[in-house]
Amino acid sequence: MILHGLLGASDAPPATVGFHWLPAAATEGAGPVDGLFELILWLGLFASTLLLGLLIAVAVQYRRRGDDAAGLRIRDENLPLTVFAVVVAAAVAVFVFYAGAGVHQDLATPPSDAYAVAAEADSGRVSWIYPNGHRTDSLHVPAARPVVVDMTARDAVYRLSIPAFRLGRDMVPGRETRVWFEAVEPGSYDVFAAAHGDVPGAAYASAITVQEPSDFDQWLAASSDILAGLTPVEGGRKLYEALTCIACHSLDGTKLVGPSFRGLIGSERVFRDGGSALADPDYVRESLLEPQARVVAGFEPVMPSFQGRVGDREVEALVAFMESLDGGVQ
Residue ranges per domain, the chain? 4-65+72-108, 115-224, 232-323
pTM of the model: 0.60
Q: Using CA atoms, how far apart are residues 94 and 176, in angstroms rounded to an integer? A: 31
Task: Compare 50 and 80 and report the one with higher pLDDT.
Answer: 50
Q: Is the pLDDT of residue 57 over 50?
A: yes
| Single-letter residue type at 132 | N
Task: Compare 64 and 140 and report the one with higher pLDDT.
Answer: 140
Lowest mean pLDDT among 20-24, 127-131, 198-202: 198-202
| Residue 50: alpha-carbon gap to chain centroid | 40
Closest to 23 in 3D by CA, of 129, 134, 164:
164
Closest to 258 in 3D by CA, of 273, 247, 271:
247
Q: What is the pLDDT of residues 147-203, one digit of tens each?
A: 999 999 988 899 888 989 998 889 999 888 999 999 988 999 988 888 876 655 556
Task: Compare 68 and 146 and report the one with higher pLDDT.
Answer: 146
pLDDT of amino acid 83: 87
Q: Which residues, 6+ apart, have CB-to-CB distance to 207 below 8 Å?
A: 138, 139, 188, 189, 190, 191
What does the mean pLDDT of the chain come to? Answer: 83
**What's the CATH code, domain 232-323?**
1.10.760.10
Q: Is the pLDDT of residue 15 over 60?
A: no
Q: Which residues, 6+ apart, have CB-to-CB distance to 174 below 8 Å?
A: 152
**Average pLDDT estimate for 84-88:** 89
The pLDDT-based confidence of 239 (bands split at 50, 70, 90) is confident
**What's the CATH code, domain 115-224?**
2.60.40.420
Distances in Å between the Cα of 100 and the Cα atoms of 105, 158, 217, 243, 303 are: 9, 25, 36, 40, 43
Q: Is the pLDDT of residue 13 over 60?
A: no
Q: Using CA atoms, how far apart are residues 121 and 12, in angstroms rounded to an integer? A: 34
Q: Using CA atoms, how far apart are residues 179 and 162, in angstroms rounded to an integer? A: 11
**Average pLDDT estimate for 18-29:** 74
State the CB neighbour count (10 A cutoff) for residue 28.
21
pLDDT of amino acid 117: 93
Q: Is the pLDDT of residue 45 over 90?
A: yes
Q: Using CA atoms, how far apart are residues 176 and 148, in angstroms rounded to an integer? A: 12
